[in-house]
Amino acid sequence: MKRVGVTDTTLRDAHQSLLATRMRTEDMLPVVGKLDQAGFYALEVWGGATFDACLRYLGEDPWERLRQIRARVRHTPLMMLLRGQNLVGYRHYPDDVVQAFVRLAVKNGVDILRVFDALNDLRNLRTAVAAAKEAGAHVQGTVVYTKSPVHTCRELVETALELAEMGADSICLKDMAGLLIPGEADQLVRALKEKVSLPLEIHAHYTSGLASMAYLKAIEAGADVVDTAVSTLALGTSQPPTESLAAALAGTEWEPELDLGLVAEVAEHFRVVRRKYQEYDVGTVVDAAVLRYQIPGGMISNFTAQLAQQKALDKLPQVLEEVERVREELGYPPLVTPSSQVVGAQAVLNVLGGERYKLVANEVKAYLRGFYGQPPGPVSEAVRRKVVGDEGAIACRPADLLPPGLEPARREVAAYLETEEDLLSYVLFPPQAKKFLQERLAARTQVDYCLLEAAENEGGGYPAP
Ligand code: CO
């Protein structure tokens, strides 16, 4: 018997993908205990865009969310998604910030850190991996999957081997665009399982309609764990549905050990909760354009919005074709945050600017100078010359150039800090966190004032001297 493990992504990736990451902690907590009892391999509950969204949109403390979930989960490991040196933000942070963030994430309840770098430049994972190991956490090293001439099966296996060498406890194959076709899943998983002796987890998005089929092939080929979401927050740009996978595998040697009664209760809860977030809901249609252009669904909807603003929606097909060209010229970066923004911004400028690379996005300059890391493949020399001229690329790891960030930040917001976690929130998202911390302090002062007033009123009954 080789039962497959299932990681539930409902509380992180599913609502990040379907509801613009807007789900509030109060809508999660009623079913966290049930998820814990249902028999999942892990619960992915933190990281990715959720940290940013808590501070930016929800007025919530992301650390408090983690602690609230941790307090209700006794049996199942908690997983987070960490963007390597970018942590849960969009730029490279200094090593002292990465070390402190990882230490506090583990201290507040994360058991498994799934760590990836958009370019598969493993230098950008080193500090986070070392810090997670030191904190005693399970490190899941991630191979970002994409289609390109430089991302062959051999290359991807090579990346996994390097992750194993770095000390990863398991490997994740991350297909953020949902492009993994079943036959490829079979081939890749066999190759990975043959060469790398670590548990292998597959993470895919349903966007193109392929993910459930790819999972089945991956499981038959020896994948140990797959990521799903409960049916009411699955499909579309989210993960495949847990219940369907369980039904497909019922009676086979891979049948997962899940309590489907509990999963059904969780699904019913989110069926109702989802209605509250209707204004953000992107729905769950299969996006066939993803198959045609091999571009993540999120990018296509961003283009649609941007071009509509410029009254140039008719240019969408050109932009989508330009993406592939720019991507080739930039050495085939996988289209995932933040490299998808680099490629996307330039593709739009190239189409709307009339001449290619006449206008250049700052991100592209930084990318070509090595500030995101090493491009996976060779960069077009003509484009490099046109964009950055004689300015050379850095040869070192981008974060090597960053001075320590914690202490300067501490001085900036000393008045509002209550915990070390507050400081990290501020370093990562300065304006958003500062506003949150100020408002929290103001609310506390208000409460103190009310208590004081109440105490004084009671004091009125004291006998006069
Ligand atoms: Co994902």
Instruction: Read off the pLDDT of each residue in 335-360 and give the average, rounded to a whole number.
Output: 92
The Cα-based distances of 177 to 174, 192, 207, 242 in angstroms read 9, 20, 7, 19
Average pLDDT over residues 216-237: 97
Q: Ligand 1 centre and the CA of 465: distance in Å?
A: 70
CA 225 distance to own-chain centroid? 18
Dist. CA 176 → ligand 1 center (Å): 5
Whether 114 contacts 83, CB under 8 Å: no
| pLDDT of 460 strictly over 50 | no
pTM of the model: 0.93
Q: Do residues 331 and 383 lie in contact, with contact meaning Cβ atoms separated by under 8 Å?
A: no
Of residues 132, 154, 129, the one with CA closest to residue 142: 129
Q: Determine the topology of domain 295-395 in CATH.
A: Cyclin A; domain 1 (1.10.472)
3-state SS, one letter per residue, for the chain: CCCCEEEECHHHHHHHHHCCCCCCHHHHHHHHHHHHHCCCCEEEEEECCHHHHHHHHHCCCHHHHHHHHHHHCCCCCEEEEECHHHCCCCCCCCHHHHHHHHHHHHHCCCCEEEECCCCCCHHHCHHHHHHHHHCCCEEEEEEECCCCCCCCHHHHHHHHHHHHHHCCCEEEEEECCCCCCHHHHHHHHHHHHHHCCCCEEEEECCCCCCHHHHHHHHHHCCCCEEEEECHHHCCCCCCCEHHHHHHHHCCCCCCCCCCHHHHHHHHHHHHHHHHHCHHHCCCCCCCHHHHHHCCCHHHHHHHHHHHHHCCCHHHHHHHHHHHHHHHHHCCCCCCCCCHHHHHHHHHHHHHHCCCCCCCCCHHHHHHHCCCCCCCCCCCCHHHHHHHHCCCCCCCCCHHHHCCCCHHHHHHHHHHHCCCHHHHHHHHHCHHHHHHHHHHHHHHHHHHHHHHHHHHHHHHCCCCCC
Q: State yes or no: pLDDT of 464 exceeds 70.
A: no
Q: How far is the CA of 456 from the centre of ligand 1 (A)?
A: 54
Whether pLDDT at 209 is above 70: yes
Q: Which two tokens stand for residue 206?
A: 């349903």
Distance 68 CA to ligand 1 centre (A): 23
CA 12 – CA 284 distance, rounded (Å): 17
What's the gap in Å between 162 CA and the centre of ligand 1?
A: 22
- Does residue 454 surpass a pLDDT of 90? no
User: In this model, does residue 275 exceed pLDDT 90?
Assistant: yes
According to the model, what pLDDT value does residue 457 have? 63
Ligand 1 mean position, distance from CA 462 (Å): 63
Instruction: Return the CA Rg of the chain.
Output: 23
Q: Which two tokens stand for residue 258?
A: 């899940």
Ligand 1 ion local residues (Cβ < 5 A): 13
**Number of residues assigned to the chain:** 465
Cis bond before residue 62 (omega within 30° of 0) = no
Q: Say how many Å lie between the CA of residue 402 and the centre of ligand 1.
A: 29
Residue 336 CA, ligand 1 centroid: distance in Å: 10
Residue 203 near residue 179, CB atoms below 8 Å: no
**Which fold would CATH assign to domain 5-280?**
TIM Barrel (3.20.20)
d(CA 37, ligand 1 centre) in Å: 24
Integer Cα distance of 398 and 143 in angstroms:
20
Distance 203 CA to ligand 1 centre (A): 7
Closest residue by Cα to residue 244 from 206, 289, 272, 273? 206
For the chain, the structural domain boundaries read 5-280, 295-395
Q: What angle do CA 152, 155, 160 make, to 5 degrees?
A: 130
Is the CB of residue 285 less than 8 Å from the CB of residue 247?
no
Distance CA 212, CA 185 (A): 11
- Give φ, ψ of 164 to 5 degrees: -60, -40
- Which tens digit of pLDDT belongs to each residue from 366-422? 999 999 999 999 999 999 999 999 888 899 999 999 999 999 999 999 999 999 999
Measured in Å, residue 141 CA sits from the centre of ligand 1 at 14
Query: What distance in angstroms lies between residue 311's CA and the mean position of ligand 1's atoms?
Result: 31
**Distance between Cα 123 and ligand 1 center (Å):** 22
Average pLDDT over residues 214-229: 98
pLDDT at 305 over 90: no
More confident call, 248 vs 339: 248
Question: 1-5, 108-112, 291-295, 411-415: lowest mean pLDDT where?
Answer: 291-295
Confidence of residue 452 (pLDDT cuts 50, 70, 90): low
The angle, 0 to 180 degrees and rounded to 10, between the axes of the packed helices 95-107 and 420-428 is 130
Return d(Cα 49, Cα 281) in angstroms, integer. 16
pLDDT digits (tens, 9 = 90+) for 35-67: 999 999 999 999 999 999 999 999 999 999 999
Residue 253 has pLDDT above 50, yes or no: yes
Determine the pLDDT at residue 407: 97
**79 exposure class (CB count in 10 Å sphere: 0-12, 13-18, 19+):** buried
